[in-house]
Structure 1
């Protein structure tokens, strides 16, 4: 995602995040590195609901598991987001693919494991589980995005160290 003006402490405002997520022209680059990560974020949010409250999805999509579909979209979206980060620009394509795939798998399956553990220790309250799933997903996305922005910010623009 494009760089935006950060508030003191490195946190971006909600307005900056929404502006950054606005519609962009349909180009190959925007489809890969803007829209696919956005679809990944939406899939990740639904994945958190699906793991934390599996009965909810069954009510709306009977006899069909959407978990693999949500996992696939999340992996692709987060992988493309990582692949397009500035700190990987100098890496050869095969390493960019390996590093972004690795990061995407760790993020996605680590989240699924966290949600499964949380679901097992929380009381069986569908509203509570759903709220904790979605809110933890939002927090994890924000922390991951802030981490990647911090790594990118450590780059030397002029090529000196």
Structure 2
């Protein structure tokens, strides 16, 4: 008879996800949640009226930004190029990277929004497209920096 842990492993394995444990929750699933929030943040900045229609009683910008910061910060914290640093330095550098990436993205979206015609679909596509492009560039960059780090 399979245990509950075996059932969870088989479900996550079938979906191509990592097993659920503390390390994976912090350094795999939280960054995934960060990407989802980052993508929603791109829509929120590029198309605030659309998000207000979905959430009329609450501005979710700060929630999305917080989740983006946590996800990207944990992603950076666990990267091999930071592994030889003290916890304090890893926290400092990963926080700086997360804040710089997230707020830089918000600034880029605000500029793009001022250049794009006020069309809900076009603004959404520009926000999501530019957000996914920036995620891809950031991942490629951190992979490159990791490749330069001494191997353990």
Same fold (TM > 0.5): yes
Render the CA deviation track for 1:136-156: whole Å, top value 9, x for unaligned.
000000000000000000123
Give the alignment of 1:12-27 within 5 angstroms.
22-27=16-21
Of 123, 128, 136, which aligns to 2:130? 136
Select which of 98, 109, 114 maps to 1:104.
98
Instruction: Please name the residue that 2:24 is paired with.
Output: 30
> Which residue matches 1:125?
119
Distance 1:110 1:64 in 2: 24
Distance 2:151 2:51 in 1: 47
TM normalised by structure 2 equals: 0.88
Tell me the distance in 1 between the aligned counterparts of 2:16 and 2:141: 22
- Residues 83-108 of structure 1 show CA distances to partners (whole Å, capped at 9, x for unaligned) of 00000000000000000000000000
Partner Cα distance (1:69, 1:46) in 2 = 10
> 1:123 Cα shift?
1.0
Partner secondary structure for residue 90 of structure 2:
helix
Tell me the equivalent position of 2:56: 62
Shift in Å, 1:25:
1.5
Normalising by structure 1, we get a TM-score of 0.83
Q: As a proportion of its length, which structure holds more helix?
A: 2
Name the count of aligned residue pairs. 139
Q: Give per-residue Cα distances to partners, 1:112-131, cap 9 Å, x unaligned.
A: 00001111121111111110
Structure 2 stretches lacking a partner, 5+ long:
1-12
Unpaired runs of 5+ residues, structure 1, are 1-18
In structure 1, the partner of 2:66 is: 72
Is 1:154 the counterpart of 2:140? The answer is no
